Amino acid sequence: MTESSTSETAEKSAESAKALRTQQAQANRQVAKLRAAVRERDDRLRELEERLVALEGSTTYRFGRIVVGAARRPGRRATRLPRELYRLWKHRDAPQRPGQSSDFTRGRSEVFDREEDRLLAASPAALEGSVRQLVIAGVFGPSTTADLAGFARTLPLFPHDGGLVLESSDADLVLVDVTAGAPGGPWAYLGEPGMYDRERTLGTLLDAARGRDLPVVLWPAGRGDEGELGGAATAPGLSRLDWDAIAVPGVSLLRFNPAWGAERDRTPLVIDPGVRLPLGVRRAVDAITATIGARVADPTPAELPQLLRRHSVTVAATPAQVPEQLASGAFVLCPAAVAGALPADLRAHVHVVTDPAALPETLSAVPLYDPRLALRTLFLRHSAPVRLAELCERLGIDADPAAGRRVTVVADVGSAADAARLADDVLAQSHRPAEVAFAPGAGLPGGALTAVTARLAEHGVTVCTRSAGDPAGRSGTATPGEAPWVAPWPTGARVPESHLADLVCAAECSGADAVGPAAGAPDHTFVAAVEPALVRRELYETGGAPAGWSAQGARLMSLDSRG
């Protein structure tokens, strides 16, 4: 190749390269223009969406939807109409967040094409419980799930998945436990001022709940009305939100219960509430602790029940500690300020300390302390299933958290007098049975049966008849009724009104399969044989003779609750 041709080639190459660069630059400019056009279109789309949201967020539009919605579903929606309209009025000036459905009654589902499709989705809850099992989705603290276990099915919601889980869940309500904001959990610092991300996420969950007509409930740390005695600083960011109910949780007797039969440490115990106590209470607790040489412990939630069971005397530093300590069978000492914040029926079961110096003499009476009365009070009025049932009634939820306490009384009734006495005793029970299955004797007039049935039904007790025979019905046939417990009724003697309450309470606390008197055995002791006063239905129907129950592995607890 000659020098000139080399130079020409080089020139051509350079020109080609320059042309390529020019083309590339032009292509790059074109790409940049296209990108700009796409950005502009996205901006316009966003603006249109915001306008649509604004329209949907207008009070007029929302009012119309609420009223039309109530007209379409008169039953449940109509009862909520006043509350929804009030909420609409209250928040009429509140700004709507972009993308948020402004209607409290309708959140757009991201899972279902039509809201009605939710009705088709099978629920895992069906595998575990009854149709009326309470299902609670929520923001839970360290012990919420344990406290609700056995009374409700729980679905924890986490900051990053709460919306998805709630959307596809079959929940009855959404619960927020204030203790969820404690460090060491997924919702740490929820409710603390300045925690925008947690607050926003919770707000989105609550909106989603309302969009599905699910009530939202706040579960406060303390009892809610005793100021600093609530213990840890409650999350102020939560209490200012809009709740359908603020419900004080009841104590779980499955978790907190006496360790009957076990030897207890006589050293008094204080569960350290930390530095966050009002000054007066701090002084009182310190004085009590010093006087009686109490041990101060700081257990985890998992360790707490067992620790309480091991001590015969405890000191309650906050009102929230009282039910747990009473349920654990302890003799509970309470500073006056703490006792003053308790409801009267609980206060009656604690020892109010006004003079620590007098305590040593008081404590000498502890070996004689019988926790049964305190347990009865807790069982009837301050336990988890009772509180949950009250909540369900208040919120119009068709669920029965206390279903596990339902009892079918079985009795033989030979005369009109027997029938009347049975009705009197049943209706007087502080824990009323759900059902009565009785075998009418030959001498029972038909009219008497009808009258008793009507009288019991009037008070919500279902009556069914069974064949005459062994009242225990241990013939291998099904006993009428559906309650999980069967209580053979003692005939011929009046039964105290606390009879069923004490039996079911003992069963709930101990996990026993049958409860009843056992000759020669002290009450609340696991024994090899009992005279059945309360029996799990499946054991009652298929277990054969009671003498063989223990050998089958059934747990039997002695308790003579007949007075």
Partner 1 sequence: MRPRALVYGDVDLNLIDGSAIWAQGMVQALARAGCAVTLVLKAPVRTGRLVDPLAAIKGVTVRRPHEEGRVEGGAGMTAKQAVRVLTEIDEAEPYDLVVIRGRRLAGKLAHSPLRGRLWTYLTDVPQSAPEFDGNARGELTRIAEASRFLLCQTEELRCFLEAAVPATAGRCVLFSPVVVLPDGLSPQDRTPPDGRPLRLVYTGKFAPRWNTYEMTGLPRLLAARDVEAELHMVGDKVHDDPKDPNFSRRMRTALESGDGVVWHGGHPRAEAMRLTAGCDIGLSWRHPDMDASLELSTKVLEMGALGVPVVLNRTPMHERLLGADYPLFAASETDVVEALAVTAREPETYALAAERCRAAAAGFSLDAAADRLRRYLTQAFPEPSEAILRASRDGGRKLRVGVAGHDLKFFTRLLDYLKSRPDMEVRVDHWSALKVHDPERSQELVDWADVVICEWCGPNALWYAEHKRPGQRLFVRLHRFELYSGWPQRLDIGAVDKIICVSPHYGDLTRKMTGWPANKVVVVPNWVDDTQFDREKLEGAEHHLGMIGIAPARKRLDLGLDVLEQLRRDDPRFMLFIKSKLPWDYWWIWQREEEREHYDQVFRRIRRSPLLAGAVVFDSYGRDVASWLRRIGFVLSTSDDESFHLAPAEGMAAGAVPALLPWPGAETIYDPRWIHADPAAMAGSIAATVREGRWEDERRLGRDQLREAYALDEVCRQWTVLIAGEQM
Residues that bind partner 1 (CB under 8 A): 21, 25, 28-29, 31-32, 35, 50, 94-98, 142, 156, 158-160, 182-186, 188-189, 192-197, 199-200, 203, 226-230, 233-234, 236-237, 239-240, 274-276, 278-281, 283, 300, 302, 337, 340
Give the whole-angstrom CA distance, residue 165 versus residue 161. Answer: 6
Q: Which CB, 37 or 302, lies closer to partner 1?
A: 302
Q: Residue 468: is it exposed, middle or buried by C-beta count within 10 angstroms (0-12/13-18/19+)?
A: middle
The torsion angles phi and psi of 526, rounded to 5 degrees, stand at -75, 130
Length of the chain in residues, anyone? 563
E strand intervals along 143-274: 153-156, 173-177, 216-219, 245-246, 269-271
At closest approach, how far in Å is the CB of 237 from partner 1?
Answer: 5
Contacts of 28 (CB under 8 A, 6+ apart): none
Give the whole-angstrom CA distance, residue 110 versus residue 333. Answer: 53
CA atoms within 13 A on the CB side of 443: 8
Report the DSSP beta bridge partners of residue 306: none
What's the first-to-final CA gap in the chain, in angstroms? 124
How many CB atoms are located within 10 Å of the residue 224 CB? 17
CA distances from 302 to 93, 168, 206, 207, 427 (A): 46, 30, 29, 33, 39
DSSP designation for 344: H
Extract the tokens encoding 258: 């006496």
Q: Residue 95 carries which side chain, given as an amino acid letter?
A: P
Of residues 432, 548, 549, 434, the one with CA closest to residue 499? 432
541 membership: H or E segment, kind and range? helix 537-542
Q: Which CB, 229 or 448, lies closer to partner 1?
A: 229
